[in-house]
Amino acid sequence: MMAMSRGAVARLLAGPFLAAAITGALAHEIIDLDRANKLVAVADSAADRARKASGRASEGEMLFSLGEALIEATDLLNRDMAAHGGELTLNGQILLKGLSQRDLAPHFEKALKRYLLPRQQLEAAIRLAPAASYVPRARFALVKARFYESFALDPFKPLRADISAIEQESSEAEALVPLLEDPDEREEAAFIHAVDLAREVKLAGKAGNPSTVEPKARAALRTFAETYPDSMRAASASVILQGLEQAQR
């Protein structure tokens, strides 16, 4: 068992979600009607252009544009719910209905109490043009979705204890770090990589199996905390690292 304050880790990880919800509540409206209509129109246009695309590269680009619109729409829907007691506002309902009418609505996961990012468009965009410039961003969006959608608050209490899936996610996050141009995305990918390594250690321990990645997990957490000392995530990485080190004493 990992000797750490799970509550502390959960609070630190939940911080960005809570901050977004509070900011949205202060702004009163997370989704204004114009933005809802524009997002539906953008998604509609991208889907139509993808259907009419003349080549794989063009179709992939249009599907990535559609994926980006769905990323924003899903994020807005979740923030709208978080800021309004778990219920969508009228504008949120209008956005969701517009997407539903086009078979583009995100699925609502009751266990998480939030909408899941539609992945089909991003996955297809990667398959169609694996060397396209948008691919690292598409891969990052998928890794980020898989990570945050795998647990409610505590990453060490995943909805499904699938070590293989976490291993793949960790490797993908590690591979993406040098490919991402956006520094915030690089930081988040490095964080996901480090936390997933620690999750591998935790799940292996629960299954009664020794973990071979524990030294790598400690190194990744330590490197993250040292590389991003001013990040909110650095505090979470330090707490997890402390738990790993205490478990070895």
pLDDT, one tens digit per residue, over 74-95 is 999 999 999 999 999 999 999 9
Nearest to 176 by CA among 125, 135, 145, 213: 135
Residue carrying the six token digits 């009607």: 33
Tokens of 115: 């909408």
Phi-psi region of 233 (alpha: psi -120 to 50; beta: other; left: phi over 0): alpha
H or E element in which residue 191 lies:
helix 183-206
Task: Output the pLDDT for position 223.
Answer: 97
Q: CA-to-CA distance for 49 and 147, rounded, in angstroms?
A: 30
List, in order of start, the domains of the chain with CATH numbers: 1-19+133-249 (1.25.40), 31-128 (no CATH)
Paired with 114 in beta bridges are 109
Is pTM, for the whole model, over 0.75?
yes
Task: Output the pLDDT for position 249.
Answer: 56
The model's pLDDT over 36-77, given as tens digits with 9 standing for 90+, comes to 999 999 999 999 999 999 899 999 999 999 999 999 999 999
Q: Yes or no: say if 187 and 231 are a contact pair by the CB < 8 Å rule.
A: yes
